Copies of this chain bind each other. A is one copy, B any other.
C-alpha cells in the first residue's frame, strides 16, 4: 500500500525478502537499492539478517544513510559486528551520531575496544558524557535499555497549559502513552496518561489527575524489570535513580523485546547456541561457535562409553544387550527432556519456588514411575517377541523403569540446582540431563544383565 515499487502481491517481509532475492539473482542491484528506500527499519534489519555475509555487505550500501544507525541498533549483535568490521572510525561516528545514547552504546560495545574509544573520542562533550553514562551501567541493567526522550511536566499546572506546552514541543514519540510529572529537582512524583489529559477538564491541575509513579531502578536487571512491569498490567515504566530522579523510561516496546529475548534465549541455549548466532554467518565463525558444545558432549559420550566398557564380559556373551542398549538410554533421554523443558520454562517465568518445588518434584516423580512401569512393560514385551528370552525382557523392563524415574528426578533437580548455583539452566541443563540418562541407562541395563544373566 505505502510503496508502489513492490508488485502488488508482495506485502509481508517474507514476500519482500523473496522478491529482493529474485532481483539480486537477476543482477538488478540498482532496483534493490531503490526498494530499500521504501522499507521500514525492521524490514531492513530483517532483510540484512536473511542474507549471507557477502551479499549483506553489498546490501548494506543500499541502506539509506539517515536510518543506518537505527537499523544497526536493531540487528543481532553478531550480524551488526559483521557489517562494522573494517569500517572506518569516522564512518561509525557519523552513523551513530543521531542515535540515542543507549543505541549508540550498544553498537560501540560490540566493537573492538580501541575503535569504540576512538568513536567516543570524536563526540562532542555532552554526547560523550551521555554515552559514557550509559556504558557505565552493567550490561543487562535497565539503564542500558531505557529511552531518555521522556516528556516531563510539573504537577501544579493546568491540563490546558500542558496541551499548549506539547503543541510547542518539536517532537514527541508517536507511541507515547504517559507524561512524566517531576518536581523542581527532576524527581518523579507521578505520571499522566495522555488519554487522561484529553478526557479531563482543561482547567484541572495535573496533580489532581496524575497517578502515583510505579517506577523501576536504572540499575535493576532489565529482564526482571520487564517481568515486573508486565505483572503490574503496565505497558511502560519510568526509570529513576536511587534518589528518585527521573532518568528515562522503558517503553512498551522495550518491555516486550526484553521478554521475547528471554524466551528466544531458552530455545537457542538449550541447543548450545549463542542467542545472537547469525543464521548466515561465515562457516569459520559458526564452526568456532559450536566447538565448545560438541567438545563437552564428547566428554559425556565417552563417559557413557566408559560405563559400557565395564561390562564387556556380559556384552560379549549376550549380543542382544548391545542391540537393545540404545532403547533404554533413548527413552530416558526423551522423558527427561520433557520434564527439563517444563522446569526451565517454569523457572524462567518465576513460577517455581518455595513449597511448590516439592510438589513439582513429587508430580514428576510419579509421572516417571507410571510412565516407567507402562513403557517397561511395552518394551519388555517387544524385546520378548524379538529375542524370546525372559531374562533379557526382565532386564530391559527393569532398566527402563529405573532410567525413566532417574530422568524425571533429574529433569526437576538439575535445573533447580543450576539456578541455585547461579548458572543458566537452559545452557547446561540438557547436557547434564543426557549424561545422567545415558549413564543410568547403560549402568542399570548392563549391571542388571551381569547380575541376572551372567551369574
Contact = CB atoms under 8 A, between A and B. Distances in A.
A421 interface: no
A66 to B, nearest CB: 14
A341 B196 CA distance: 46
Given A214-B2, A267-B266, A326 B354 contact: no
A110 interface: no
A4 to B, nearest CB: 13
B227 A13 contact: yes
B322 A315 contact: yes
B331 A294 contact: yes
Nearest to A224: B12
A356 B50 contact: yes
Number of copies: 2
Nearest to A268: B341
A184 to B, nearest CB: 23
Interface stretch (A135-143, A240-248, A276-284): A276-284
Contact of A231 (B46, B355, B367): B46
Contacts of A177: 174-175, 177
Contact of A352 (B2, B271, B279, B315): B279
Contacts of A5: none
Given A40-B232, A327-B301, A341 B267 contact: yes
Contact of A176 (B195, B301, B352): B195
Contacts of A99: none
Interface in A110-132: none
A323 B312 contact: yes
A352 B280 CA distance: 10
A287 B359 contact: no
Contact of A49 (B193, B268, B351): B351
A345 B375 contact: no
A272 B336 CA distance: 12
Interface in A347-373: 349-356, 359-360, 363, 366-367, 370-371
A314 to B, nearest CB: 10
B167 A195 contact: no
A37 interface: no
Contact of A199 (B42, B166, B302, B438): B166
Interface stretch (A15-23, A28-36, A57-65, A81-89): A15-23
Interface in A195-224: 195-201, 212, 214, 224
Interface in A158-210: 163, 166-167, 169, 172-177, 193-201
Nearest to A47: B351
Q: Main SS of the interface on chain A?
A: helix
Interface stretch (A90-98, A101-109, A252-260, A447-455): A252-260
A41 B234 CA distance: 11
Contacts of A326: 301, 304-305, 308, 325-326, 329, 438, 442
B322 A271 contact: no
A349 B76 CA distance: 13
A215 B224 CA distance: 34
Chain B CB within 10 Å, residue with most, of A214, A268, A356: A356
A271 B335 CA distance: 9
A283 B361 CA distance: 11
Nearest to A269: B341
B371 A287 contact: yes
A26 to B, nearest CB: 11
A428 interface: no
Nearest to A261: B263
B298 A378 contact: yes
B280 A363 contact: yes
A359 B323 contact: no
Given A233-B41, A279-B346, A301-B331, A286 B363 contact: yes
B355 A235 contact: no
Contacts of A363: 52, 280-281, 283, 286
14 contacts: A1-B212, A13-B227, A13-B350, A18-B354, A40-B232, A174-B193, A174-B196, A175-B235, A286-B363, A297-B331, A298-B331, A304-B326, A315-B323, A319-B322
